[in-house]
């Protein structure tokens, strides 16, 4: 069976690639249609990638172009990219079209009817609260929920996702929960270090820096730690910023914790990420909003305990006190208490590390996830859903 996977900006490339590889092992022909990428980038060396999107953006430097201007230009490029996609799929004639992200719903809606004439449509809803309530520009949020009704079948990763979509009037029979697999798993995950060589415990907040990730909450939590406790830990925030980070740096200075937290605001290559994972004892997720989290599945693959907000996938798979510590949303004091416990209670980290290993081993592998996904494709193929 020919399967077209659509992820325009390759937002979830590790997920796309892992699922596609498993589908290929099951005997299917899979192509991932996404943005054009540099041939030197080792993340995108897979032959399954068809770089159809945003070719006109290749000469636009995101970091040197005003954000609004960049996004407007990307919007226009998205239209031409969708036209290119339709032509490519008409030639290739896939049996299923599996979309992962709808970046401009008002534009995408115009193409769905045409795409559905080619093959049934499946959507994985990675964020049932579109863009985690933080679209890059407001127009992206317009129609982001209603467009989901245009798909034959939808995939979510959490019970929360099912509840949210049914609350929007989408029939439960058209929604399937499929687990999110582990990402970036090393050949043999080393145990988390009890301490760094300098005796401090390392905490890491990793991933794209966006408002919903709660970096400001971490800064406030660190400020609430007693100085003696704070000196026994090292905190790092690492990842490419998708927001203005000047207020975060100013907040750290105002609270006198700018020297306690290392900010590494840039894209972190896979080899450096592996080094950060090896050096980190605990990963931090003080998120305000989330459905599923690829960064969490990376942490679990490395058998790293987490401190996370009690929301979304965190709440559904992390057992508080067993594989991590859960805190309420928007609660820097509770986050500070959880950090303090790990610094001061010498037996807690080893216990959580054991629990997180058990949790990691309980996550379905990608071959099992592919089998469940194929069942969704079969349901989409027999669906009587009509474009609304």
| Residue 80 covered by a domain | yes
pLDDT score, position 338:
98
Residue 141 and residue 277 share a domain? no
Residue 374 and residue 351 share a domain? no
Residue 152 and residue 97 share a domain? yes
Cα gap 112→387, rounded to integer Å: 8
Whole-prediction pTM: 0.86
User: For the sheet containing 96-99, what is the strand order?
Assistant: 49-53, 29-35, 2-6, 96-99, 121-124, 153-156, 175-177
pLDDT score, position 76:
83
Cα 371 to Cα 158, 176, 377, distances in angstroms: 18, 13, 10
Residue 71 and residue 174 share a domain? yes
Residue 218 and residue 341 share a domain? yes
Per-residue pLDDT of the chain (388 residues; tens, 9 = 90+): 999 999 998 988 889 999 999 999 999 999 999 987 755 455 555 557 888 998 866 545 555 666 667 767 777 889 999 999 999 999 999 999 999 998 888 889 999 999 999 999 999 999 888 776 666 666 677 778 889 999 999 999 999 999 999 999 999 999 999 999 998 776 677 777 777 778 899 999 999 999 999 999 999 999 999 999 999 999 999 999 988 999 999 999 999 999 999 999 998 888 888 889 888 999 999 999 988 888 899 888 888 999 999 999 999 999 999 999 999 999 999 999 999 999 999 899 999 999 999 999 999 999 999 999 999 999 998 764 444 3
Q: How many domains does the chain have?
A: 2
User: For the sheet containing 201-206, what is the strand order?
Assistant: 261-264, 233-238, 201-206, 282-285, 306-309, 324-327
Assess contact for 116 and 22: CB atoms under 8 A.
no
DSSP 130: G
Domain that holds residue 328: 201-362
Token duo for residue 17: 């690639």
Residue 275 and residue 208 share a domain? yes
Residue 344 and residue 245 share a domain? yes
| Residue 188 covered by a domain | no
Cα gap 24→91, rounded to integer Å: 20
DSSP 142: T
pLDDT score, position 67:
65
Residue 220 and residue 100 share a domain? no
Cα 110 to Cα 10, 86, 146, 206, distances in angstroms: 21, 12, 13, 36
pLDDT score, position 231:
94
Assess contact for 349 and 305: CB atoms under 8 A.
yes
| Residue 192 covered by a domain | no
Residue 172 and residue 210 share a domain? no
| Residue 121 covered by a domain | yes
Beta bridge partners of 121: 97
| Residue 56 covered by a domain | yes
**CATH code (residue 62):** 3.40.50.2000
pLDDT score, position 229:
95
User: Residues in the chain, how many?
Assistant: 388
| Residue 186 covered by a domain | no
Residue 177 and residue 242 share a domain? no
pLDDT score, position 270:
80
Residue 243 and residue 106 share a domain? no
| Residue 196 covered by a domain | no
Residue 161 and residue 208 share a domain? no
pLDDT score, position 255:
97
| Residue 329 covered by a domain | yes
Assess contact for 284 and 307: CB atoms under 8 A.
yes
Matching residue, tokens 């592919």:
370
């Amino acid at each position: 069976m020919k399967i077209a996977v659509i992820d325009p900006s390759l937002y979830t490339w590790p997920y796309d690639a892992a699922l596609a590889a498993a589908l290929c092992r099951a005997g299917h022909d899979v192509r991932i249609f996404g943005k054009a990428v540099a041939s030197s980038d080792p993340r995108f060396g897979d032959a399954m990638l068809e770089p159809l999107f945003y070719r006109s953006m290749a000469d636009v430097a995101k970091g040197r172009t005003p954000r609004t201007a960049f996004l407007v230009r990307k919007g226009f490029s998205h239209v031409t990219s969708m036209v290119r996609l339709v032509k490519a799929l008409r030639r290739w004639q896939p049996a299923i079209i599996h979309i992962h992200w709808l970046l401009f719903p008002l534009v995408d809606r115009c193409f769905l009817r045409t795409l559905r004439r080619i093959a049934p449509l499946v959507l994985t809803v990675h964020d049932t609260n579109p863009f985690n309530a933080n679209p890059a520009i407001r127009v992206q949020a317009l129609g982001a929920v209603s467009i989901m009704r245009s798909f034959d079948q939808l995939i979510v990763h959490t019970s929360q996702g099912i509840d949210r979509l049914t609350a929007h009037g989408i029939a439960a029979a058209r929604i399937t929960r499929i687990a999110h697999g582990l990402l970036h798993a090393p050949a043999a995950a080393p145990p988390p270090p009890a301490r760094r060589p300098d005796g401090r415990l390392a905490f890491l907040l990793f991933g794209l820096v966006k408002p919903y990730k709660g970096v400001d909450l971490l800064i406030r939590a660190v400020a609430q730690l007693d100085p003696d406790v704070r000196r026994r830990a090292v905190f790092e925030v690492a990842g490419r910023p998708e927001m203005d980070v000047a207020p975060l740096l100013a907040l750290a200075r105002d609270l006198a914790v700018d020297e306690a937290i290392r900010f590494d605001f840039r894209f972190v290559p896979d080899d450096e990420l592996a080094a950060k994972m090896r050096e980190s004892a605990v990963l931090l997720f003080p998120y305000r909003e989330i459905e599923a989290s690829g960064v969490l599945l990376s942490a679990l693959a490395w058998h790293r305990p987490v401190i996370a907000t009690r929301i979304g996938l965190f709440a559904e798979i992390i057992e508080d006190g067993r594989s991590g510590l859960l805190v309420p949303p928007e609660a820097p004091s509770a986050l500070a208490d959880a950090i303090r416990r790990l610094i001061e209670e010498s037996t807690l980290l080893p216990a959580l590390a054991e629990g997180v290993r058990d949790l990691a081993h309980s996550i379905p592998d990608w071959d099992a996830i592919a089998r469940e996904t194929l069942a969704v494709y079969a349901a989409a193929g027999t669906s009587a859903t009509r474009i609304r």
